[in-house]
């Protein structure tokens, strides 16, 4: 019996090495695929966006008079100096709508979205002279398409100039007067959307940002502000950030929820596969010992191959069909291999009831636990503890010394 245990352990170790190689191959394929495909997705659909509030400025003209004396003669010079003066928004009302749209490329799903942006900002001319104010809305990303771009000043649409840095529009502003700028557009982005209040620590007065999503799994990026209020809707969330006089270096942002990733999931299942096979072998060894069923190490080798076939087929099937359908096909194939084989080795009842049930638990259900984010390790742990309890109860009355001694005596007699 000791030699049989050593042989089974050797088979488990070799299969584990094969699984680690397979998992490493999946991880490498996934990373290589992401490095190649993500820039392509960004170029077609758009990159992650980071919107800033519009900038307003006017040019202040100062006349500086200076006198110089040369050979007793005085010369007066007048120098004109142009200084750009920036105006901060007196109030901000921003409305953002995010519509999630998944796209699959190879082994990965990418979280793309459509964003409808509209912002109303007020600016004040603090001088006693009329000023020609230039309003500049910087684009949130260079790799993006912007449709329906609108720039209105005091409710009047104005022609604007657009370049790679954004859109510009100019309008006169009377002394001590206030102008209202409305800017809007529709665009597309990838993975995350942010609103940056300013560089480093910035001040925002009378600020309000309302965000609507068509998804419920909301998540906020690091170094971003939590919403002041949120209300769940039938399709997503209504979120709001409201501040009277905010001074902060944090941003406002939203991370798009990620769909179940076929590549990383298949790799993770393969990494944990040795635990699954260990529990299956352990249970088969105990049952065969209790019932005096002679399972040769070569039988265990073919059972290990049937388990490995599940992960090998899954690794290359997820490229072409959905992960759930691929998982179902691989489960059926692997269970069929085990049951049809043990039916010939031991018998139909053992193959279906004992082996088939154990494979459903330790291969299918354990692997499916990785579909539930955050509960896979806990599920495997609970399964190990339950298996240990059942086996301990079944084997509590077995005299293992007799089992090993009997096997040794039998081998000595045969020799």
Say if residue 309's pLDDT is above 90: yes
How is residue 311 annotated by DSSP? Answer: H
How is residue 260 annotated by DSSP? Answer: P
pLDDT value of position 85: 86
For residues 217 and 229, give the distance between their C-alpha atoms in angstroms, rounded to a whole number.
16
Say if residue 410's pLDDT is above 80: no
Q: Are 302 and 339 in contact (CB under 8 A)?
A: no
Identify the CATH number of the domain defined by range 47-255: 2.60.40
Q: Are 32 and 98 in contact (CB under 8 A)?
A: no
Q: Give the residue-averaged pLDDT of 244-259.
A: 87
Strand blocks (E) in 174-219: 178-190, 192-195, 202-213
Say if residue 122's pLDDT is above 90: yes
Residue spans per domain, the chain: 2-36+261-406, 47-255
Reported as a single tens digit per residue, the pLDDT across 130-183 is: 989 999 999 998 878 889 999 999 989 888 888 877 899 999 999 989 999 999
For residues 209 and 94, give the distance between their C-alpha atoms in angstroms, rounded to a whole number.
5
* Cβ neighbours for 373, distance < 8 A, ≥ 6 positions apart: none
* Among candidate residues 233, 250, 141, 123, the one with its CA nearest the CA of residue 241: 250
Q: Are 169 and 135 in contact (CB under 8 A)?
A: yes
Q: Are 262 and 318 in contact (CB under 8 A)?
A: yes
SS3 content of the chain, % helix, strand, coil (to 5): 40, 35, 25
Reported as a single tens digit per residue, the pLDDT across 44-57 is: 777 889 999 999 99
For residues 41 and 361, give the distance between their C-alpha atoms in angstroms, rounded to a whole number.
39
Here the tokens at position 388 are 């240990």
For residues 194 and 50, give the distance between their C-alpha atoms in angstroms, rounded to a whole number.
5
Q: Are 187 and 144 in contact (CB under 8 A)?
A: yes
pTM of the model as a whole: 0.69
* Among candidate residues 39, 45, 46, 51, the one with its CA nearest the CA of residue 253: 51
More confident residue, 340 or 406: 340
**What is the torsional sign of CA 361, 364, 370, 371?**
negative
For residues 7 and 1, give the distance between their C-alpha atoms in angstroms, rounded to a whole number.
10
Say if residue 119's pLDDT is above 80: yes
Please name the helix (run of DSSP H) or strand (run of DSSP E) that holds residue 6, with its range, or none: helix 2-45
Say if residue 408's pLDDT is above 80: no
pLDDT value of position 153: 92
> What mean pLDDT, rounded, does the chain reach?
86
Confidence of residue 59 (pLDDT cuts 50, 70, 90): confident
Q: What is the bridge-based pairing of β-strands 237-248 and 202-213?
A: antiparallel
Here the tokens at position 144 are 């993006």
Q: Are 314 and 349 in contact (CB under 8 A)?
A: no
Confidence of residue 401 (pLDDT cuts 50, 70, 90): confident
Say if residue 376's pLDDT is above 80: no
Reported as a single tens digit per residue, the pLDDT across 84-102 is: 888 889 999 999 999 998 8
């Amino acid at each position: 019996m000791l030699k049989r245990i050593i042989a089974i352990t050797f088979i488990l170790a070799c299969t584990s090495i094969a699984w680690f190689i397979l998992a490493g191959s999946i991880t490498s394929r996934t990373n290589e695929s992401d490095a190649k495909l993500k820039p392509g997705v960004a170029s077609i659909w758009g990159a992650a966006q980071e919107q800033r509030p519009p900038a307003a400025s006017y040019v202040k003209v100062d006349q500086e008079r200076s006198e110089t004396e040369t050979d007793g003669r005085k010369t007066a010079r007048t120098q004109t100096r142009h200084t750009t003066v920036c105006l901060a928004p007196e109030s901000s009302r921003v409305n953002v709508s995010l519509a999630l749209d998944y796209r699959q490329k190879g082994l990965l799903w990418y979280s793309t979205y459509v964003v409808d942006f509209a912002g109303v900002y007020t600016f004040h001319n603090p001088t006693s002279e009329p000023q020609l104010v230039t309003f500049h809305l910087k684009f949130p990303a260079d790799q993006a398409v912007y449709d329906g771009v609108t720039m209105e000043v005091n409710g009047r649409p104005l022609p604007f100039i657009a370049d790679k840095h954004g859109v510009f529009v100019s309008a006169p502003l009377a002394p001590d007067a206030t102008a209202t700028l409305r800017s809007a557009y529709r665009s597309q982005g990838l993975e995350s959307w942010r609103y940056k209040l300013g560089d480093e620590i910035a001040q925002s007065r009378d600020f309000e940002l309302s965000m609507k999503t068509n998804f419920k799994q909301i998540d906020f990026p690091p170094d971003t502000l939590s919403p002041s209020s949120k209300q769940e809707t039938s399709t997503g969330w209504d979120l709001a950030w409201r501040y009277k006089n905010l001074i902060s270096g944090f941003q406002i942002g939203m991370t798009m929820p990620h769909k179940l990733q076929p590549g990383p999931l298949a790799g993770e299942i393969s990494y944990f596969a040795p635990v699954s096979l260990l529990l299956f072998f352990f249970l088969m060894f105990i049952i065969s010992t209790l019932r005096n069923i002679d399972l040769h190490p070569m039988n265990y080798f073919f059972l290990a191959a049937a388990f490995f076939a599940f992960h090998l087929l899954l690794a290359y099937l997820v490229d072409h069909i959905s992960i759930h359908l691929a998982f179902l096909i691989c489960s059926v194939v692997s269970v069929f291999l085990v049951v049809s084989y043990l039916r010939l080795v031991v018998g139909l009842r053992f193959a279906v009831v004992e082996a088939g049930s154990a494979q459903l638990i330790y291969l299918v259900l354990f692997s499916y636990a990785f579909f539930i984010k955050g509960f896979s390790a806990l599920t495997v742990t609970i399964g190990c503890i339950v298996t240990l309890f059942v086996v301990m109860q079944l084997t509590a009355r077995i005299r293992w010394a007799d089992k090993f001694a009997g096997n040794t005596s039998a081998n000595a007699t045969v020799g």
